[in-house]
């Protein structure tokens, strides 16, 4: 497991990026001269990440528009952060002569998605998206699986909040993309109820 240096305030971004193990988990991020550990995802977080990536790719890849990436490190505007889900347009995915994607990603994602976890304050996720959309990211979604809401951030616009009866739209990045919020949170359901042992006074069948 990677550990942050004790002297955090004097570490530069270049020094941080040369640290061993920053992408081995827990992921480490560089924010305003500090090293912060990113929270490990739980089941709900993982289900939403997977569903969003599949849904975005199903729309974008056949049209040759771009690709969704899980836990992608993006380094820009003096920070190095790991977005829960990052969507990059094809023109922003650098490749080698063989057509393989090149690392790293020294720019913001085109869509920055954060999923609120129970042990991570929503304000921290919110601040990350505000930073991205203030520095080149065109669209951000802050997804709260507890409140069943999505906050939508677009550069230069007021924040919108969509509830379970609303629809997420992909403009200005993915024109025509639509995702009903009810479908989004429907991905949290598993195949059948499976209560924990003792929840009903006895063992789970």
* CATH code for position 143: 3.90.1570.10
Domain assignment of residue 193, yes or no: no
| The overall pTM is greater than 0.85 | yes
In a domain, 170, yes or no: yes
Residues 101 and 113 in one domain: yes
- In this structure, the answer to whether residues 68 and 11 fall within a common structural domain is no
Same domain, 16 and 92: no
- Residues spanned by the domain of 12: 1-38
Whether residue 78 sits in one domain with residue 61: yes
Q: Is 171 contained in some domain?
A: yes
Residues 90, 154 within the same domain: yes
Whether 29 is in a domain gets the answer yes
- Residues in CB range of 35: below 8 A, 6 or more apart: 4, 5, 8, 11, 16, 28, 29
- Same domain for 109 and 89, yes or no, is yes
205 occurs within a structural domain: no
* pLDDT for res 190: 84
Residue 201: inside a domain? no
Same domain? For 148 and 164 the reply is yes
Residue 200: its pLDDT value, please?
56
Same domain, 45 and 34: no
Same domain, 31 and 121: no
97 and 11 belong to one structural domain: no
Per-residue b or e along 49-68, where b marks 16 or more CB atoms closer than 10 Å to that residue's CB: bebbbebbbebbeeeebbbb
Length of the chain: 205
Per-residue pLDDT of the chain (205 residues; tens, 9 = 90+): 344 433 345 689 999 999 998 998 789 999 988 999 887 778 899 999 999 999 999 999 999 999 999 999 999 999 999 999 999 999 999 999 999 999 999 999 999 999 998 777 789 899 999 999 999 999 999 999 999 999 999 988 999 999 999 999 999 999 999 999 999 999 999 876 666 666 555 554 4
Q: Do 68 and 9 belong to one domain?
A: no
Count of CB atoms situated within 10 Å of the CB of 180: 14
Q: Does 27 lie in the same domain as 116? A: no
At residue 121, the pLDDT reads 78
Query: What's the total number of domains in the chain?
Result: 2
Q: Taking the alpha carbons of 41, 21, 68, 77 in that order, is the dihedral positive or negative?
A: positive
């Amino acid at each position: 497991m990677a550990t942050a240096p004790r002297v955090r305030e004097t570490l530069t971004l270049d020094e941080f990026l040369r640290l061993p193990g920053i992408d081995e988990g827990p992921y480490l991020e560089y924010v305003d001269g500090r090293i912060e550990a990113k929270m490990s995802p739980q089941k709900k977080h993982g289900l939403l990440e997977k569903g969003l990536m599949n849904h975005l790719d199903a729309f974008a890849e056949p049209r040759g528009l771009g690709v969704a990436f899980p836990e992608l490190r993006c380094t820009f505007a003096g920070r190095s952060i790991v977005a829960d889900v990052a969507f990059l347009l094809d023109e922003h995915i650098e490749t080698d002569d063989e057509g393989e994607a090149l690392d790293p990603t020294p720019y913001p994602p085109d869509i920055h998605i954060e999923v609120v976890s129970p042990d991570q304050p929503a304000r921290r996720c919110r601040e990350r998206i505000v930073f991205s959309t203030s520095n080149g990211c065109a669209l951000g979604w802050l997804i709260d699986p507890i409140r069943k809401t999505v906050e939508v951030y677009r550069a230069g616009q007021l924040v919108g909040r969509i509830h379970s009866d609303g629809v997420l739209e992909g403009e200005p990045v993915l024109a025509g993309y639509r995702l009903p919020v009810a479908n989004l949170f429907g991905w949290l359901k598993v195949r059948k109820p499976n209560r924990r042992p003792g929840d009903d006074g006895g063992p789970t069948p």
